[in-house]
Amino acid sequence: MTTRRVNLNTESVDNYLKAIFTLGGPDEERVTSSALAERLGVAPASITNMLQKLAASLSPLVEYERRRGVRLSPAGRRRALEIVRHHRLLEAFLYEVLDYPIEEVHDEAERLEHFISERFEERIATKLRHPNFDPHGHCIPAMDGKMPKQVSKPLTDIEEGGKFLVDSVSDHDAILLKQLKAHGITPGARLQVTSPSQEEFVLRAGSPSKALRLSRALAGAVRIRSED
């Protein structure tokens, strides 16, 4: 197969790389086209098409086999981490400096992450004193792409109630984020979980305020760790 230079829209390439990075998880497992299609809201045929282009470009950003799925090449991983760093730094900046509500920072960062310069990125990092976490509790990769593994698990993994710390909350559901915030369920908060079941989780944070009942589907958006 001949290698050719492909002219691809950078913004959509970045979104593919970021989605592969996120879906692959900490162990960087291969990601299926259907999982990508769902995440990006794109038809499976377009996914295949794009992955073939990314795998065939001059310095390939992904390794792709139709049957086994896709994973990032070292170059693709570097690029993905750069975008994730932009995204999470922007979220922290919007939240801490511009006073955006937590449920609005993600969408704004999605737009801005593709366009900021290295200088702008460095300025934000300096202004915020090089933060390690974004407002959702997710690790911000360092300049050199290093990112510590977070030791946490989804709330839905627990079988018994108890006391935990909120590690992070998903940035994808603005309505849920608002609800969590209203109940004091934010990264670092102490969380009391009573009687988890197949259907629902009953959560209390901070003072014995009113409980929040979450369905199993929604509870997966909260990641917890044990109290230190």
Residues of this chain that interact with Zn ion (CB under 5 A) are 106, 171
Of 106 and 204, the one with the shorter C-beta distance to Zn ion is 106
Taking the least distance from each CB to Zn ion, the nearer of 86 and 183 is 86
Look up residue 52 and give its two tokens: 């073939």
- Residue whose CB is less far from Zn ion, 174 or 202: 174
Give me the half-sphere count of Cα atoms (radius 13 Å) on the Cβ side of residue 26: 9
Question: Is 23 or 202 the residue whose CB approaches Zn ion more closely?
Answer: 23
User: Tokens 């799925």 — which residue?
Assistant: 69
Q: Which of 101, 100, 89 is nearest to 127 (CA)?
A: 89
Q: Which one-letter DSSP state was computed for residue 133?
A: B
DSSP state of 150: P
| Smallest separation (angstroms) from Zn ion to the CB of 106 | 4
Specify the residue, 167 or 171, whose C-beta has the smaller distance to Zn ion: 171
Complex with Zn ion: residue 51 or 185, whichever CB lies closer? 185
**Kind and range of the H or E run holding 203:** strand 200-205
Q: Which of 31, 29, 28, 26 is nearest to 148 (CA)?
A: 26
Nearer to Zn ion, 69 or 137 (CB): 137
Contact 207, 174 (CB under 8 A): no
Q: Report residue 146 as tokens.
A: 């290093």
CB of 88 to Zn ion, least distance (A): 7
The stretches of the chain forming alpha helices (DSSP H) are 10-24, 33-40, 44-56, 74-96, 102-112, 118-127, 174-182, 216-219
Least Å distance, CB 138 to Zn ion, is: 8
Residues with Cβ within 8 Å of 199's Cβ and at least 6 positions away in sequence, in order, are 215, 216
- Half-sphere exposure for 7 (CA within 13 Å, toward CB): 0
Closest approach of Cβ 84 to Zn ion, in Å?
A: 9
Smallest gap from residue 26 Cβ to Zn ion (A): 17
